Structures are given as structure tokens and as C-alpha cells.
């Protein structure tokens, strides 16, 4: 099999993204165990749910004492962007049956982003699968390591794990705050959630902020 | 079945459905400007709300503690364009320092 230099670049980008993002899985593994999930439950979220922001939301809400329903609803709304990625990818991948199921599972921010950076469909396809499978492998590996590491220690505050979780959310939201309007929307979501925290059950303050997305998004 | 198991299995199923639907429905169903613009804002509001609650909430009470220092350091690291793992580790170290030393 001959590898053209161009494909080399696709491989390099895909694998370096996969490894860097995979490392972040350790933070998720630690967050899961800190929130009261078992190592198995934490690893299953990475294997089955496999979408970072949704996974952090599930453990964050359950850890704060929220209901399963509000955790599922928040994770589902966060994961809806993956449906829009699938729309973009379907005409490039052209897969059916079991292959479509596999391609769906690895349809996430990173595989879509690296794929859309390419200039032709064959590279887009390669980049999608390389990044998708790469992130899947590293993310799950580091989730296990993070979960095992966190279960080996006692009080999460001693190791700063209680701050690692909101810091992880900062890292996820930061790249999305591209202008002043988005900063303002972000600040109002924080304000609304904190306002509701003392008066509603855990999980409700978070899911309620979707109203802000609808209000601000309605006018485009 | 515990509520954690329900959350794990339920959110895994809906996450897969989200992904699979995108690959399977006609483009015109979801390709609408309003859906797209609301969808761009959904992660912004939900993740921001999670930042706020995870930083300040202790059950239903709002408190200021070592986590705020950690998140402050994380924001500075992000401003300086640090990579994700560095942001998280810097937050953990600074928060742990405040918790253990004060």
C-alpha cells in the first residue's frame, strides 16, 4: 500500500487531534468517579454515549443530585449538534447498514471538524474515520485511567477534582464564545442558572437555560 | 435500577439516536436556518450554566470556595490559549492548593 504525502498530512492531523482530545478523557474519568459513578458506569458513558460535553453534563448533574430525567434531557439537547454533523457527513460517507451504525457512533465534534478541513471527498472520508476511531480509542483508554486514578484517592477537593469539572466545562464552552453577543448569552445563562439553583431541584437550573437559546436564536 | 444506571443507559440511547438520525433523515428536515441558529446557542447556554452551577453550587446553596480560584485560573489559561489538558490540570492544582493550605 503506497501512502501519498497528502494522505500523510491527513493522518498526522487526525492522530494528533485524537491523542490530545483523548487525554481529556482522563478528566472525564476522574469527574465520573468524583460524581459518584462507578468505574464501570463511567467507562460505559465513554464507550456508549461517546460525546464529551454530554458525558460531562450527565455526571455533573447526577453528581449534584439531579434526576436521571434532567441529566438525559440535558445530554440529549447537547448531543443534537451531532445530528447536524451527520447531515453534512452522509453525502460524503454514503454508508448503509452496520457501517452507518459505526459511522454514527463516531460522529462527534472532532471527527466532523477534521473531515471538513479537507479539500476532497476521499480525504474527508479518511480524516473522518481516522479522527473518529482515534478519538474513540484514546478517549476510552484515558477515561479508564482517569476513573481508576480518581477511585484511588479519597476527598476529591484535596486533589482539586472539584474544580477540574467546571474547568472542563470552561474548556468546552470557550471556543464557542466567538463574539460579544455570545459572551452576553453565556453570562445570562450563568446568571439564570445561579438564580434558579436555590429554588429548584438540581438539574432544572441547567436545562431551563435552553429557553435563552430559543429566545436569542429565534431571530437568527 | 439506580438512577445513575438509568442516566447512563438513557443518555447513551438518545446520544446514539441523535447521531444516527443525522445520517438517515432527508436533509431538508433539519437544514433550516432557525434550527441551526438555536442549535449553535444550545451548547453555549447549557455549558455556561454548568460552569456556573459547578463553580458556585453546593447542593442547593450558593457558596464561594476554592473552586472559584480553580475556574479563575482555567479562564486565564484559556485566555493564554493553553491546551485543554493544561487548563484542567492548572485548575485542579490551584484549587487544591487553596483547599489544602487555607
Is the Cβ of A9 closer than 8 Å to some Cβ of chain B?
no
Do A128 and A19 lie in one domain? The reply is yes
pLDDT at site A122 = 95
Q: Which residues of A touch B52 (CB under 8 A)?
A: 189-191, 193-194
- Backbone region of residue B57 per phi and psi (left: phi > 0; alpha: psi in -120 to 50; beta: other values): beta
Q: Say whether A206 and B36 touch across the interface (CB within 8 A).
A: no
How far does B76 lie from chain A, in Å, by closest CA?
A: 11
Domain boundaries, chain B: 1-31
Is the Cβ of A202 closer than 8 Å to some Cβ of chain B?
yes
- pLDDT interval class at B83 (50, 70, 90): confident
Over 50: is that where the pLDDT of A126 sits? yes
pLDDT at site A195 = 98
How far does A6 lie from chain B, in Å, by closest CA?
A: 26
pLDDT at site A9 = 85
Give tens-digit pLDDT for A30-41: 999 999 999 999
Mean pLDDT on A63-76: 95
Instruction: Provide, rounded to the nearest whole percent, the portion of chain A with pLDDT above 90.
Output: 74
- pLDDT interval class at A2 (50, 70, 90): very low
Mean pLDDT on B46-73: 95
| Residue A190, all three cell numbers | 450563568
Do A59 and A12 lie in one domain? The reply is yes
Instruction: Check: CB of residue A131 under 8 Å from CB of residue A114.
Output: yes
| Residue A36, all three cell numbers | 459518584
Do A194 and A163 lie in one domain? The reply is no
Please report the ipTM that was assigned to this predicted complex.
0.91
Range of the domain at A27: 5-176
Do A43 and A112 lie in one domain? The reply is yes
Q: Which residues of B touch A177 (CB under 8 A)?
A: 44
Do A74 and A162 lie in one domain? The reply is yes
pLDDT at site A124 = 95
Q: Say whether B70 and A216 touch across the interface (CB within 8 A).
A: no
Name the domain count of chain A.
2
pLDDT at site B85 = 84
Do A108 and A154 lie in one domain? The reply is yes
Do A165 and A183 lie in one domain? The reply is no
Long-range contacts of A172-180 (CB under 8 A, 24+ apart): A172/A52, A172/A53, A172/A56, A172/B43, A172/B47, A173/B43, A173/B44, A173/B47, A173/B48, A173/B51, A174/B78, A176/B40, A176/B43, A176/B44, A176/B47, A177/B44
Q: Say whether A202 and B59 touch across the interface (CB within 8 A).
A: yes
Give tens-digit pLDDT for A196-218: 999 999 899 999 999 999 999 99
Do A78 and A118 lie in one domain? The reply is yes
Please state the length of chain B: 102
- pLDDT interval class at A155 (50, 70, 90): confident
Instruction: Provide, rounded to the nearest whole percent, the portion of chain B with pLDDT above 90.
Output: 74
Amino acid at each position: 500500500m503506497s501512502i501519498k504525502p497528502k494522505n500523510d498530512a491527513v493522518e498526522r492531523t487526525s492522530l494528533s487531534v485524537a491523542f490530545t482530545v483523548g487525554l481529556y478523557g482522563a478528566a472525564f474519568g476522574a469527574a465520573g468517579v468524583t460524581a459518584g459513578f462507578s468505574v464501570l458506569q463511567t467507562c460505559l458513558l465513554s464507550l456508549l454515549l461517546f460525546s464529551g460535553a454530554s458525558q460531562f453534563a450527565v455526571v455533573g448533574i447526577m453528581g449534584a443530585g439531579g434526576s436521571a430525567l434532567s441529566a438525559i434531557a440535558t445530554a440529549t439537547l447537547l448531543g443534537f449538534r451531532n445530528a447536524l454533523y451527520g447531515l453534512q457527513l452522509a453525502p460524503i460517507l454514503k454508508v448503509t447498514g452496520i457501517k452507518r451504525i459505526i459511522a454514527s457512533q463516531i460522529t462527534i465534534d472532532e471527527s466532523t471538524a477534521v473531515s471538513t478541513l479537507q479539500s476532497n471527498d476521499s480525504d474527508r472520508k479518511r480524516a473522518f474515520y481516522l479522527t473518529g476511531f482515534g478519538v474513540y480509542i484514546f478517549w476510552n483508554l484515558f477515561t479508564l485511567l482517569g476513573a481508576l486514578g480518581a477511585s484511588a484517592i479519597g476527598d476529591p477537593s484535596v486533589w482539586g477534582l472539584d474544580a477540574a469539572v467546571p474547568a472542563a466545562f470552561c474548556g468546552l464552552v470557550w471556543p464557542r464564545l466567538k463574539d460579544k453577543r455570545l459572551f452576553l448569552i453565556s453570562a445570562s445563562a450563568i446568571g439564570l442558572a445561579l438564580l434558579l439553583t436555590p429554588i429548584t431541584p438540581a438539574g432544572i437550573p441547567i436545562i431551563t437555560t435552553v429557553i435563552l437559546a430559543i429566545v436569542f436564536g429565534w431571530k437568527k | 435500577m439506580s438512577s445513575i444506571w438509568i442516566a447512563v443507559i438513557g443518555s447513551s440511547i438518545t446520544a446514539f439516536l441523535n447521531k444516527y438520525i443525522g445520517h438517515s433523515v432527508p436533509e431538508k428536515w433539519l437544514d433550516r436556518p432557525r434550527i441551526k441558529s438555536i442549535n449553535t446557542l444550545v451548547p453555549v447556554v447549557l455549558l455556561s450554566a454548568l460552569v456556573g452551577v459547578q463553580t458556585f453550587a453546593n447542593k442547593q446553596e450558593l457558596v464561594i470556595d476554592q473552586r472559584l480560584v480553580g475556574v479563575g485560573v482555567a479562564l486565564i489559561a484559556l485566555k493564554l490559549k493553553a491546551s485543554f489538558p493544561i487548563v484542567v490540570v492548572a485548575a485542579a492544582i490551584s484549587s487544591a492548593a487553596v483547599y489544602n493550605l487555607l
